[in-house]
């Protein structure tokens, strides 16, 4: 930074002196053609042009030296500083005043131009910095960039006068706790205490700030609209004059503070929304379960009470019917409870299942054996493609997926219509499908039926309802295995297809079964 400034200054001085040299060459060239009055205009023009490049002190010095040299070389009597005519005196005095005025105006305009460029550069820097913070999902990750942006504004070399930053990880603790801060750069205990004070008060400290101006460092808060999220330290500051970019540095810090505050508010809103949603889900779940548990429990209680109190007056057929009702309704409660628990389990583990290599034929076979007790009309059939590869997954979850799909097909299709379970390969996926010949599902409900506590308008009149958990659980199981559950309307009914990705097969398949 300093080397570049010295090089620029040397270049400007060289250009200014070259302009004076060129002006004197022109004076010498036109000496034989013009009188001193006309030659003086060349001197004034030279002084004005040189003032664009030289500082005010050098411009005034060059003007005085040039005026004396002009008097010596071009004003009669030549070779002396004596002035022969009064007109020449007026000429020299006028030239001196014009040179001073022009030099002052040129230097003033140049300084104004330099400041305007500096303000434009600072504004552009703030704009770029603001865009970065606006687009950042985690503003805290840009603290290192803020550290780098503040280093050129510090006094001296960064190694001797370091810049340090601290930012809150979460809420402001009641006492100064080092673990509550994220740090960029190292500080000593004294600086650490001052950073905490700056963070808690939200006021800049140090030279030029009006607060603790005797400090040897500058402390700038990372301020938002209603909270301070951190503080910046710029060491080596002993006076306000040593830090002309204080406003720029504070603006950079304030932009970071506003971004951190905005991110903090968004996190609080997200947490509040998640808590409210979780509470709504819990309330809905309790309401749905309490409603759907009531019917089977009432049936079980009624049948059990009849068996307990009127067993002698009931025929063998009636006792078998009541016992069958108890078993059927208890199994319905089991499936409902299992669905709820598995859905809660998948939500708790975030979909990260503990899988193993499984045989699709064995999973489908075990499910078919269990579900045939719910299929007195023997509508269930299975069709499996030959030589199916092994599946990687959780056999219990995959079995429950198929059970729920088959149970839905049994409930919502005509008693005599067939239900087919199939397994086949489709490019890089193994597809488990359950197809029925029911009334189908309305197009508007295609996606809704996979949401928790949502059911499509496809139930049979008087048919058994449900909580709307089954299909939501099926899709959650499919996605936990890296696949997807899809619904397809067919010409004769509905088809639910679970697409599960294939993995590289184990070296010894038998050892995994």
Average pLDDT over residues 242-269: 84
Instruction: State the pTM of this model.
Output: 0.50
Residue 491 scores a pLDDT above 90: no
Residue 22, pLDDT score: 92
The chain-wide mean pLDDT, for the chain, equals 81
Residue 480 scores a pLDDT above 50: yes
pLDDT: is 437 or 465 the higher one?
437
Residue 349, pLDDT score: 60
Residue 375, pLDDT score: 80
Residue 158 scores a pLDDT above 50: no
Average pLDDT over residues 432-451: 72
Calculate what percentage of the chain has a pLDDT beyond 90: 17
Residue 455 scores a pLDDT above 70: no
Q: How confident is the model at residue 444 (pLDDT cuts 50, 70, 90)?
A: low
Calculate what percentage of the chain has a pLDDT beyond 70: 82
Q: How confident is the model at residue 443 (pLDDT cuts 50, 70, 90)?
A: low
Q: How confident is the model at residue 361 (pLDDT cuts 50, 70, 90)?
A: very high
Average pLDDT over residues 33-55: 84
Q: How confident is the model at residue 196 (pLDDT cuts 50, 70, 90)?
A: very high
Average pLDDT over residues 374-401: 88
Residue 148, pLDDT score: 86
Residue 161, pLDDT score: 53
Q: Which CATH architecture has domain 139-262?
A: 2-Layer Sandwich (3.30)
Residue 289 scores a pLDDT above 70: no
Average pLDDT over residues 493-513: 79
d(CA 170, CA 264): 8
Residue 281, pLDDT score: 61
Residue 319 scores a pLDDT above 80: yes
Average pLDDT over residues 31-37: 83
Average pLDDT over residues 240-261: 80
d(CA 127, CA 131): 6
The answer to which of 100-109, 123-132, 503-512 has the lowest mean pLDDT is 503-512
**In DSSP terms, which residues pair with 380 in a beta bridge?**
419
Collapsed DSSP state (helix, strand, coil) of residue 174: coil
Q: What secondary structure, in 3-state letters, does 97-126 show?
A: HHHHHHHHHHHHHHHHHHHHHHHHHHHHHH
Collapsed DSSP state (helix, strand, coil) of residue 425: strand
Domain residue spans in the chain? 2-132, 139-262, 270-330, 350-512
For domain 350-512, give the fold. Answer: Heat Shock Protein 90 (3.30.565)
pLDDT: is 373 or 150 the higher one?
150
Residue 462, pLDDT score: 43
d(CA 266, CA 172): 17
Residue 332 scores a pLDDT above 80: no
Residue 220, pLDDT score: 93
pLDDT: is 114 or 469 the higher one?
114
Structure tokens at 73: 């070389």
Q: How confident is the model at residue 159 (pLDDT cuts 50, 70, 90)?
A: very low
**In DSSP terms, which residues pair with 487 in a beta bridge?**
496
Residue 284, pLDDT score: 62
Half-sphere exposure of 419 (CA within 13 A, CB side): 27
Residue 237 scores a pLDDT above 70: no
Long-range contacts of 473-478 (CB under 8 A, 24+ apart): 473/339, 473/342, 473/343, 473/346, 473/400, 473/401, 473/404, 474/401, 474/404, 474/405, 474/450, 474/498, 475/450, 476/343, 476/346, 476/347, 476/351, 477/342, 477/346, 477/397, 477/398, 477/400, 477/401, 478/401
Residue 384, pLDDT score: 93
pLDDT: is 465 or 122 the higher one?
122
Q: How confident is the model at residue 43 (pLDDT cuts 50, 70, 90)?
A: confident
Q: How confident is the model at residue 463 (pLDDT cuts 50, 70, 90)?
A: very low
> Same CATH topology for 139-262 and 350-512?
no
Residue 241 scores a pLDDT above 70: no
Residue 3 scores a pLDDT above 70: no
Average pLDDT over residues 428-432: 92
Strand 419-426 versus strand 380-384 pairing type: parallel
Residue 201, pLDDT score: 92
């Amino acid at each position: 930074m300093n080397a570049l400034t010295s090089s620029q200054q040397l270049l400007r001085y060289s250009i200014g002196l070259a302009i004076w040299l060129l002006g004197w060459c022109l004076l010498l060239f036109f000496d034989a053609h013009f009188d001193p009055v006309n030659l003086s205009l060349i001197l004034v023009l030279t002084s004005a042009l040189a003032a664009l490049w030289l500082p005010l002190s050098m411009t005034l010095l060059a003007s005085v030296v040039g005026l004396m040299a002009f008097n010596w070389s071009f004003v009669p009597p030549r070779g002396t500083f004596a002035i022969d005519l009064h007109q020449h005196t007026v000429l020299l005095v006028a030239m001196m005043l014009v040179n001073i005025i022009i030099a002052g105006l040129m230097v003033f305009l140049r300084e104004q131009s330099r400041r305007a460029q500096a303000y434009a550069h600072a504004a552009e820097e703030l704009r770029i910095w603001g865009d970065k913070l606006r687009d950042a999902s985690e503003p805290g990750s840009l603290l290192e960039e803020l550290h780098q942006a503040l280093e050129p504004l510090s006094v001296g070399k960064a190694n001797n006068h370091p810049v340090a930053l601290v930012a809150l990880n979460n809420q402001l603790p009641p006492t100064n706790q080092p673990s509550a801060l994220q740090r960029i750069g190292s500080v000593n205990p004294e600086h650490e205490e001052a950073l905490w004070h700056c963070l808690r008060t939200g006021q800049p400290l140090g030279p030029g700030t009006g607060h603790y101006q005797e400090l040897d460092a500058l402390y700038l808060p990372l301020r938002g609209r209603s909270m301070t999220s951190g503080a910046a330290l710029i060491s080596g500051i002993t006076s306000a004059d040593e830090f002309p970019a204080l406003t720029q540095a504070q603006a950079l810090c304030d932009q970071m503070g506003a971004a951190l505050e905005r991110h903090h508010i968004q996190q609080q809103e997200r947490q509040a929304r998640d808590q409210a949603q979780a509470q709504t889900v819990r309330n809905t779940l309790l309401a749905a379960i309490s409603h759907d548990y009531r019917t089977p429990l009432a049936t079980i209680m009624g049948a059990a009470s009849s068996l307990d109190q009127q067993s002698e007056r009931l025929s063998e057929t009636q006792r078998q019917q009541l016992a069958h009702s108890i078993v059927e309704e208890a199994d319905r409660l089991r499936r409902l409870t299992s669905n709820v628990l598995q859905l809660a389990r998948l939500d708790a583990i975030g979909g990260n299942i503990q899988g193993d290599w499984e045989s699709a034929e064995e999973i489908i076979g075990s499910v078919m054996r269990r579900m045939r007790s719910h299929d007195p009309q023997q509508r269930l059939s299975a069709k499996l493609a030959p030589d199916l590869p092994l599946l990687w997954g959780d056999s219990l979850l995959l079995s429950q997926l198929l059970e729920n799909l088959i149970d839905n097909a049994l409930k919502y299709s005509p008693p005599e219509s067939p239900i087919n379970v199939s397994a086949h390969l489709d490019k890089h996926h193994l597809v488990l499908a359950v197809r029925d010949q029911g009334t189908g599902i309305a197009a508007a409900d295609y996606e809704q039926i996979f949401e928790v506590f949502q059911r499509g308008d496809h139930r049979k009149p008087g048919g058994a309802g449900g909580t709307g958990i089954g299909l939501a659980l099926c899709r959650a199981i499919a996605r936990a295995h890296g696949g997807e559950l899809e619904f397809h309307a067919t010409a004769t009914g509905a088809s639910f297809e679970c697409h599960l990705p294939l993995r590289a097969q184990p070296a010894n398949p038998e050892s995994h079964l």
